Amino acid sequence: MSMIVETAVVREIDAETIISPTATGRLLLDSSDTGGALSTIRMTLAEGADGAVPHHHATSTELFYILAGKARVLAGEEIVTLEAGDVAAVPPLTPHAFAAAPGHTADLLVIVAPGIQRFEYFRLLDRLRRGEATLDELLASQELYDNHFLDSPVWTRDRQAS
């Protein structure tokens, strides 16, 4: 069982920030910061922007807490629209994804428990976006970060309809 053995604090001003044209990710606590108990990131999405494509985690639950705006969360074959103050938890092995709802921005706190060491994955995505990494590097890293891309017809249809 993972357990936080000492208090882990990250001030927002000190959080590593990854910015793309449609999203800002604030890397708050990685698994190594919490003794494996959890990892957390804050994602701010532009209007209708995707946050993550369908994937699943083998051993972790992913929790989405909506700080502001509206988000759509895929959980298995169901898409749920969440508003500020709403929360959804997706269990291990369940395909999931998230995005700002059409016509809305979204600010989410995403918590994965037990934690997955994932910050290097987000940094790799950022390097890929800037042309400093290859898709092959990203695909080769998937197993390291317990993140497996899946095809989800429900999510694909929803995103195309938006």
50-106 pLDDT, tens digit each: 998 888 888 999 999 999 999 999 999 999 999 999 999 999 999 999 999 999 999
Q: Which residues pair with 156 in a beta bridge?
A: none
Which phi and psi angles does 131 have, rounded to 5°? 80, 15
Q: For the ranges 21-25, 58-62, 150-154, which has the lowest average pLDDT? A: 150-154
Fold of 16-157: Jelly Rolls (2.60.120)
Residue spans of the domains in the chain: they are: 16-157
Hey, what are 99's tokens? 């995005």
Q: What single DSSP character describes residue 127?
A: H
Output b/e per residue, 39-78; b: 16+ Cβ within 10 A. Answer: bbbbbbbeebbbbbbbbbbeebebbbbbeebbbbbbbeee
The pTM (predicted TM-score) of the whole model is 0.89
DSSP 63-125: EEEEEEEEEEEEETTEEEEEETT-EEEE-TT--EEEEEPTT--EEEEEEEES----HHHHHHH
Contact 139, 147 (CB under 8 A): no
The β-bridge relationship of strands 50-56 and 78-83 is unpaired
- Count other Cβ atoms within 10 Å, centred on residue 98: 28
- Taking residues 93-121, report their average pLDDT: 94
- Asked if pLDDT for residue 49 goes beyond 70, the answer is yes
pLDDT category of residue 4 using cuts at 50, 70 and 90: low
Task: Round the average pLDDT of the chain to a whole number and report it.
Answer: 89
Q: Do the beta carbons of residue 103 and residue 48 sit within 8 Å?
A: yes
Please state the rounded mean pLDDT for residues 138-162.
74
